[in-house]
Amino acid sequence: MIKAPTALAARPVRVVLSSVFSDAHTWNLVFLQLLLEEHGCQVSNLGACVPEELLLEHCRDSRPDLVVISTVNGHGHLDGVRLARRLRADPDTAEVPLVIGGKLGVGVSGGPDSRRELLAAGFDLVVEDSDPQRLVGYLEGLRRPALPSGRTPP
């Protein structure tokens, strides 16, 4: 399916929402689903303890406009880096906008190194302060047709 660059402004943004494989928490995912739906998204919520393979397959099948990873068990940094590398290595998901947020490290904050590593691994946005407004802001950016996102239709 070919998407015109302006299409996102007119139709619901299709989001795949997921945790990482080691995290069984779900209220964060429930909250984000409601938030994203309130901002005009169509959300496919994969839930807790999602194996990387399952997420990858789901993205291949559904071709989302955005993938949001939310995790609060403190392993998000480690699991996130591996997950992003895997998604970026696959031609079907190499370009999809990819966001991670929550409580990503075991300390108070993962620190700049953790953030840099996540970005280097392929995330477009890392939200370590759990501020949902930053996700909403990013979403609005995706909708703006003029934004040079660098993404091209396959």
Partner 1 sequence: MTSFSAFVADAAAQGELVVQPRMGFADPAQMRAGLLAVRGVRGRTAGTITLDSYTRVGAHDAARRALRDGAPLNGFPLVAHGPDVTRKMLEGVVAQDFPVQVRHGSPAPYDIVRTLLDAGLDATEGGPVSYCLPYSRTPLRDSVREWRRTCELMGEHGPHAHLETFGGCMLGQLCPPGLLVALSVLEALFFRAHGLRSVSLSYAQQTEAAQDLEAIAALRTLAGELLPDVRWHVVLYTYMGVYPRSTTGATTLLRDSVELAVRSGAERLIVKTEVEAHRIPTTAENVAAVRRALDATGRPIDDLPPSHTGVLVEARALVEAVLELHADLGRALELAFQHGWLDVPYCLHPDNAGETRAALDERGRLRWVSVGSMPISGLVRTLPPEALSARSLLTMLTHVERRYDNVLDDIPARLHLTDRRE
Task: Enumerate binding residues for partner 1 (CB under 8 A).
Answer: 24-32, 34-35, 38, 45-51, 70, 72, 101-103, 130, 132
**Shortest separation between residue 8's beta carbon and partner 1, angstroms:** 21
Distance between start and end Cα atoms, the chain: 8
Instruction: Compare residues 133 and 152 and give the one whose CB is closer to partner 1.
Output: 133
Instruction: Compare residues 65 and 128 and give the one whose CB is closer to partner 1.
Output: 128
Measured at the alpha carbon of residue 114, what is the angle toward residues 71 and 22, in degrees to the nearest 5?
Answer: 30
Instruction: Compare residues 7 and 78 and give the one whose CB is closer to partner 1.
Output: 78
**Shortest separation between residue 120's beta carbon and partner 1, angstroms:** 24
**Shortest separation between residue 30's beta carbon and partner 1, angstroms:** 5
Q: How far is CA 77 from CA 111, 117, 120, 137, in A?
A: 10, 8, 12, 22
**Shortest separation between residue 133's beta carbon and partner 1, angstroms:** 8
Strands in the chain per DSSP E: 13-18, 41-45, 66-71, 98-102, 125-127
Instruction: Compare residues 32 and 84 and give the one whose CB is closer to partner 1.
Output: 32
Contact 72, 25 (CB under 8 A): yes
Which residue shows structure tokens 């990482």? 20
